[in-house]
Amino acid sequence: MMIDQPEFSYFVITSLLLIIAPGPDIIFLITQSLNHGAKAGLLTALGLASGNLIHTTAAALGISLIIQTSEIAFTGLKYIGAGYLLYLAYKILTSSNTNNKKPIDTNQRYTSFYTKGLLINTLNPKIALFFLAFLPQFIPSSSTQPHISIIFLGMVFATLVAIIFGSISIITARYKNITLIKSVNYKSINRLTAIIFILLAINLALSGPP
């Protein structure tokens, strides 16, 4: 076995605590589920989990180490990520022309929700550095193939993210349908979502390497 059972159990427990901790990814997931329903939330959750897999692969290949040691690479990636968040905020504000919720067009490509989740996680260099620092802690020093162990742990982490975030999206959508009903001003929700994205972009842009 690549990882000892006690270490693996500790990894799973630690991962669960990190995943459920409030953060930008959960905020984004909840706003998508509130605005567009459970299916959009599920696809967003899968996108966020896929972004974690990309960072896992980057950590295994040593790409994350480049981001950690290169100020130019870190700065460039974080500004791209912040710019994408501002773009999402702009799209939300320019598309919010009514107070009523618009049903999703059956021809609308739900893949856009997956793509948004994927890009938000992929373009955040702090997540790359997190995986670079977090995953190796659970790999035995005697491991002859640490890169394979890192990928394995990353796949487990991403699976947990998909399950937990998927559950959150379903619960959020159902809770909204039960409690908010028709009294919700969806234009206000969209504006709040845009403000959250802008704040997240500012926070990312002003952040520095750990």
- Cβ atoms 77, 125 nearer than 8 A: yes
Sign (positive or negative) of CA dihedral 175, 179, 182, 183: negative
Average pLDDT over residues 28-36: 84
pLDDT at 189: 65
pLDDT at 187: 66
* Widest Cα–Cα separation across the chain: 61
Average pLDDT over residues 112-129: 86
Does position 180 have pLDDT exceeding 70, yes or no? no
pLDDT at 100: 46
Q: Regarding predicted confidence, which is higher, 40 or 128?
A: 40
Angstrom distances, CA of residue 56 to CA of 24, 48, 113: 19, 13, 21
Mean pLDDT over the full length of the chain: 79
Q: 76-104 pLDDT, tens per residue?
A: 878 888 888 888 788 777 875 544 444 44
Query: Cα-atom radius of gyration of the chain, to the nearest Å?
Result: 18
Range from 65-69, 151-155, 179-183, 193-197 carrying the lowest mean pLDDT: 179-183
Q: 131-148 pLDDT, tens per residue?
A: 888 888 887 767 777 888
Most confident of 70-74, 148-152, 183-187, 192-196: 148-152
> What pTM value is reported for the model?
0.76
pLDDT at 59: 85
- Cβ atoms 85, 197 nearer than 8 A: yes
